[in-house]
Amino acid sequence: MLVIFEDVSHKFNNGTLALNRLSFKLSPGEFLFLQGKSGAGKTTVARLLLRELIPTSGQILIDGEDITRLKSSQLPHLRRKIGVVFQDFKLLLDRTVFENVAVSLEIIHLDRNLIRERVIDLLRLAGLEDKKDFFPKQLSGGELQRVAIARALAPQPKLIFADEPTGNLDTETSWQIIQLLQDINDQGTAVIVATHDPQIIAKLNYRTIELEHGCLVKDTQLKSKKSKSTKK
pLDDT for 215-228, tens place per residue?
999 999 744 443 34
**pTM passes above 0.75:** yes
pLDDT at 227: 38
CA 18/CA 30 separation, integer angstroms: 25
What distance in Å separates the CA atoms of residue 126 and residue 131, rounded to the nearest whole number? 10
pLDDT at residue 231, as a whole number: 53
Handedness of CA 142, 143, 145, 146 (dihedral sign): positive
CA angle 211, 149, 128 (to 5 degrees): 150
Q: Which among 197, 163, 180, 2 has a CA at the least distance from the CA of 84?
A: 163
E strand residue ranges, 64-132: 65-66, 82-85
For residue 190, the cross-strand partners are 159
Could you tell me which residue, 204 or 3, shows the higher pLDDT?
3
**Cα 172 to Cα 138: distance, rounded to the nearest angstrom:** 20
Q: Where are the domains of the chain?
A: 3-227
Instruction: Give the model confidence (pLDDT) of 128-143 as tens digits.
Output: 999 999 999 999 999 9
Question: In this structure, are residues 209 and 34 in contact, taking their beta carbons and an 8 Å threshold?
Answer: yes
Instruction: Answer with the residue of higher pLDDT: 91 or 226.
Output: 91
How wide is the angle at C-alpha 87 spanned by C-alphas 84 and 93, nearest 5°?
Answer: 90
- Reduced to 3 states (helix: H, G, I; strand: E, B; else coil), residue 207 is strand
CB neighbours (10 Å) of residue 229? 12
Facing residues of 59 across strands? Answer: 6
What phi, psi does 96 have (nearest 5°)? -70, 175
The dihedral built from the CA positions of residue 58, 190, 195 and 44, taken in this order, carries a sign that is: positive
Radius of gyration for the chain, computed over Cα atoms and rounded to the nearest angstrom: 17
pLDDT the model gives residue 167: 86
CATH number at 3-227:
3.40.50.300
The residue ranking higher by pLDDT, 103 or 38, is 103
pLDDT in tens, 23-81: 999 999 999 999 999 889 999 999 999 999 999 999 999 999 999 999 999 999 999 99
* Max CA distance (Å), the chain: 49
